[in-house]
Homo-oligomer: A and B are copies of this chain.
Amino acid sequence: MTDTRLDVLAIGNAIVDVIADADDDFLAREGLTKGSMRLIDADEATRLYEHMGSAREISGGSAGNTAAGVAALGARAGFIGQVAPDQLGEFYIHDLRATGVEFTTPPADFGVPTARSMVLVTPDGHRTMNTFLGAAQHLPVRALDEQQIRDAAILYLEGYLWDPETPRYAMIRAIEVARGAGRKVALTLSDTFCIDRHRAGFSQLIDGGKVDILFANEAEIQALAGVPHFETAVQAVQDKVETLVVTRSERGAVAVSGGERAEVPAEPADVVDTTGAGDLFAAGFLAGRAQGRGLEQSLRLGAIVAAEVISHYGARPEADLRALAAERLA
């Protein structure tokens, strides 16, 4: 195995979050399930946007958030994702690069604009996402820079990317290239509904030994294992991957890797908007491992940066994460 140029190369939907406050009545009137992500078309995007309150636009996308967090922690991150040549696309490219992420996928005009997710934040801080995938769902295999994939220690994939067919093929090809170069593959399950939609595909990847590092939250690991009990679900999955990381919101997180098990509590936070909590947890864990930290210390770094991102609107870190890590991980 040759030297790597990147610690983490993430592939995901390049999405700008359009974040507005909403109350539970609004979710009920619109028939939305709190805490879920649903895919919507252009007409529904227009309709819902007209009903929503005033918003702020902040670059997002699950794997993009993770890449931004990895870079903000001082590790070497790259991102592959599709934007359109429009204002949202410009914002998206700028924000990742400004964080220090290598992002070279060229914008492309497929006749649809850059993806946006209308994120409705209820007073309890929970987010309900309504995603118009736009250009993101057209990420073609040919947009992959295979040398970049071979140069990255870990290829990190977001489960959401499995939804549209075109980027699913790109993801499958990226896995082949990464594994062919002896690199690790990480996958985040993204959402229980996403697991329901793609159970066969995810099981094939995981049971087929193609995933080295698996990220899930409590509901997702139970959905994947098909059991309504946390420890049983962890035990059912832990031997299928080299490293399993499961986040449990205010109950902290658990990791199992090579026979070792670590647990950490959640870090205290004043919750404003939980968008990006899982993405930044993954960033902290991956950056910790890249920087040679042990399993428990890497989990703690995940918990620290997740606590930062839920204390403000948007899924990109605002604090100086390196300073935060130095202070909290003495």
Contacts and interface: CB of A to CB of B under 8 A. Distances in A.
Interface of A: 18, 20-21, 49-50, 52-59, 68, 86-88, 91, 94-96, 98-99, 113, 313-314, 316, 318
A310 B229 CA distance: 46
Q: Is the interface of A mostly helix, strand, loop or mixed?
A: mixed
B87 A54 contact: no
Contact of A50 (B21, B50, B59, B94): B94
Contact of A98 (B53, B57, B87): B53
Contacts of A313: 56
Q: What is the copy number of this chain in the assembly?
A: 2
* Closest A-B pairs by Cβ, 7 of them: A54-B95, A57-B57, A87-B87, A54-B98, A56-B58, A53-B98, A56-B56
A103 to B, nearest CB: 12
A311 B96 CA distance: 26
Contacts of A91: 18, 55, 57
A284 to B, nearest CB: 18
Nearest to A96: B54
A53 B57 CA distance: 15
- A20, A54, A58, A96: residue with the most chain B Cβ atoms closer than 10 Å: A54
Nearest to A52: B98
A170 B18 CA distance: 33
B99 A87 contact: no
A50 B316 CA distance: 18
Nearest to A113: B87
B95 A68 contact: no
A313 B96 CA distance: 20
Contacts of A52: 94, 98
Nearest to A53: B98
Contacts of A86: 86-87
